[in-house]
Amino acid sequence: MIVARITTLALSLLICAFQVDGKLRRFPDGFSFGVATASYQIEGGWNASDKSESIWDTFTHNSNYKILDGSSGDVACDSYHLYKRDVEMVAELGVDFYRFSMSWSRLMPDGYELSKDGVKYYNDLINELLKHKIQPVVTLFHWDLPQWLQQLGGWSNSLTAKHFQRYARSAFELFGDRVKMWLTVNEPQVFCLHGYGKGLKAPGLDMNGFAEYLCGHTMLKAHAKVYHLYDQVFKKKQKGRVGLTLNASWQQASSNSSNDREAAQRVLEFELGWFANPIFSKCGDYPKIMKDRILWKSQEQGYTESRLPIFTKEELEEIKGSYDFFGLNHYTTRMVKEKSNKSVASKPSFSNDVEVDDYFESDWKESASVWLRVVPWGFQKLLNWIKDSYDNPEVIIFENGFSDREGIDDVDRVQYYRDYLNYLLDAIDDGCNVSAYTAWSLMDNFEWNKGYSERFGLYYVDYNSTIKKRTPKASAHYFKNIVKTKSIEKI
Ligand code: GAL
């Protein structure tokens, strides 16, 4: 009891320490806040009831693939059983919405028939959220593809778009009376590159320079089909919105030379433009630089056609404009310079297609993740780049957050949120049309290849306790205060 009181006192002092003397900046009227998770990372219940295996079940159960701590999402945060506690936490934070994903193989184990228990689970979760006046935001695909679909080629098989449409239709029919915001896919670039190109994530395919482009091609078509399905069949009655969320780091040119600036621009086009250009640009299609380079390299490598597939005219039209908002996941920044010794690699790869040198500045603060350094000003630059490249769309931040290996006194995460949110407000001052912000993540969870070794949560999860005890960290108190006051101290 005494210990608990001391800890609470310490936490409030810590939060106050970030607020002394600070001039407050307000978020615009109507700006909303949320927190996010994803099915495989929190649910557990991997074989509950009639759920079929997903590619992440297969991947983590196969010892050829490496999860740093040898773990899996078999139990994770056990949200399959503890969802009421999750909703309670979301309510404690006072946020407007909760972004979670549906597990395709839980809802539709064989891709055709619905699972009674799967439907019940998501109905219960949604109803519990609404009971607390929290809006559900649903991601249909956050990386856990049914394994049987993978056996048919997964996202490299264009027919997967049809299956995805069937699954999405069911989700709209079942839950669309209560869910008003849908994300078709989460971070297609990371999923395709790591899962089909580099073999680092499920399904573990190592077909660099080929399969990631096939995967992305199908996903773009699948996204557009689902967008139009909703638009034509459900929107009038359900009045919801559909989009997707794309990952992007800011790429900072290491010098003012035109070579380095072009190199940084090239990475932005290959990372974000790959998916954003076909959907959000006026002309549609992949960025020109991507099409030109991959064709040229493919020819040099002796292929008769480009390794980057080509859309038909109809497909281009279907994809272009298939959005109600621009979803963005952002964490960090990299320095980029033109590669010193450029060459066409005999073995194709995505990184040889982009071909730059990149690095972090040594004084950028580290996190627990090798890829994540704290560079808050990059957020403002990226948002401005999106404004200028895609005609200032409405942007919704669906992920932003920091990893550590700490307990509940997560000072660095508090600082990360304070600084990133300040630069987000600067971007709004610049005229960027950002309407909402989502913190990743509600609680610590299964961090893909890093297992449970990296923590991103506002709530600490004690994985050793049978009830997967969740405890608010300092950052949870801090975030709650931002949400409540709709303001933050100026840095
Ligand atoms: C994103 C991903 C999330 C989460 C986060 C932190 O790429 O969508 O699932 O893991 O990164 O690494």
Q: Is 141 helix (H, G, I), strand (E, B) or coil?
A: strand
Pocket of ligand 1 (CB under 6 A): 38, 41, 186-187, 190, 247, 329, 399, 440, 447-448, 456
Pocket test for ligand 1, best of 37, 440, 454 (most atoms within 8 A of CB): 440
Q: Is 243 helix (H, G, I), strand (E, B) or coil?
A: strand
- Cis ω for the linkage preceding 136 (within 30 of 0): no
Burial (0-12, 13-18, 19+ Cβ within 10 Å), 458: buried
Nearest CA, atom 10, ligand 1: 447
For residue 365, what are the β-bridge partners? 374
Both tokens of 270, joined, read: 């290959």
Percent helix, percent strand, percent coil in the chain, to nearest 5? 45, 15, 40
Pocket test for ligand 1, best of 329, 367, 398, 452 (most atoms within 8 A of CB): 329
Buried b (16+ CB within 10 A) or exposed e, 297-332: bbeeeeeeebbbbebeeebbebbbebbbbbbbbbbb
Of 483, 458, 470, nearest in space to 96 by CA: 483
Cβ neighbours of 21 (radius 10 Å): 6
- Nearest atom (ligand 1) to Cα of 245: 8
- How do strand 459-461 and strand 356-359 relate by DSSP bridges? unpaired
Pocket test for ligand 1, best of 42, 142, 187 (most atoms within 8 A of CB): 187
Q: How many H-runs (helices) and E-runs (strands) does the chain carry?
A: 19, 17
Q: How far is the CA of 36 from the centre of ligand 1 (A)?
A: 10
Q: How far is the CA of 35 from the centre of ligand 1 (A)?
A: 13
- Nearest atom (ligand 1) to Cα of 401: 6
- Nearest atom (ligand 1) to Cα of 445: 10
| Rounded Cα gap, residues 98 and 442, in angstroms | 9
Q: How far is the CA of 305 from the centre of ligand 1 (A)?
A: 34
Q: How far is the CA of 157 from the centre of ligand 1 (A)?
A: 25
| Rounded Cα gap, residues 215 and 82, in angstroms | 34
| Rounded Cα gap, residues 344 and 331, in angstroms | 31
Evaluate if pTM is beyond 0.85: yes
Are 117 and 43 in contact by the 8 Å Cβ rule? The answer is: no
- Nearest atom (ligand 1) to Cα of 38: 9
| Rounded Cα gap, residues 400 and 479, in angstroms | 13
Q: How far is the CA of 235 from the centre of ligand 1 (A)?
A: 29
Q: Is 470 helix (H, G, I), strand (E, B) or coil?
A: strand
- Nearest atom (ligand 1) to Cα of 456: 6
In the chain the first and final C-alpha atoms are separated, in Å, by: 35
Q: How far is the CA of 264 from the centre of ligand 1 (A)?
A: 23
Q: How far is the CA of 256 from the centre of ligand 1 (A)?
A: 32
Residue 491 identity (one-letter amino acid): I
Of 410, 397, 402, nearest in space to 365 by CA: 402
Per-residue pLDDT of the chain (491 residues; tens, 9 = 90+): 333 444 544 555 455 455 545 699 999 999 999 999 999 999 999 999 999 999 999 999 997 778 999 999 999 999 999 999 999 999 999 999 999 999 999 999 999 999 999 999 999 999 999 999 999 999 999 999 999 999 999 999 999 999 999 999 999 999 999 999 999 999 999 999 999 999 999 999 999 999 999 999 999 999 999 999 999 999 999 999 999 999 999 999 999 999 999 999 999 999 999 999 999 999 999 999 999 999 999 999 999 999 999 999 999 999 999 999 999 999 999 999 999 888 888 999 999 999 999 999 999 999 999 999 999 999 999 999 999 999 999 999 999 999 999 999 999 999 999 999 999 999 999 999 999 999 999 999 999 999 999 999 999 999 999 999 999 999 999 999 999 999 999 99
Are 420 and 328 in contact by the 8 Å Cβ rule? The answer is: no
Q: Is 250 helix (H, G, I), strand (E, B) or coil?
A: strand
Give me the domains of the chain, ranges plus CATH numbers: 33-486 (3.20.20.80)
Nearest CA, atom 2, ligand 1: 187
Nearest CA, atom 4, ligand 1: 447
Q: Give me the half-sphere count of Cα atoms (radius 13 Å) on the Cβ side of residue 446.
A: 25
- Nearest atom (ligand 1) to Cα of 454: 12
Nearest CA, atom 9, ligand 1: 38
Q: What SS3 string covers 125-192?
A: HHHHHHHCCCEEEEEEECCCCEHHHHHCCHHHCCCHHHHHHHHHHHHHHHHCCCCCEEEEEECHHHHH
| Rounded Cα gap, residues 51 and 64, in angstroms | 24
Q: Could you give the angle at the alpha carbon of 374 between the alpha carbons of 372 and 376, nearest 5°?
A: 125
| Rounded Cα gap, residues 165 and 219, in angstroms | 11
Of 401, 400, 383, nearest in space to 392 by CA: 383
Q: Give me the half-sphere count of Cα atoms (radius 13 Å) on the Cβ side of residue 47.
A: 5
- Residues annotated as catalytic (active site), given as ranges: 187, 399
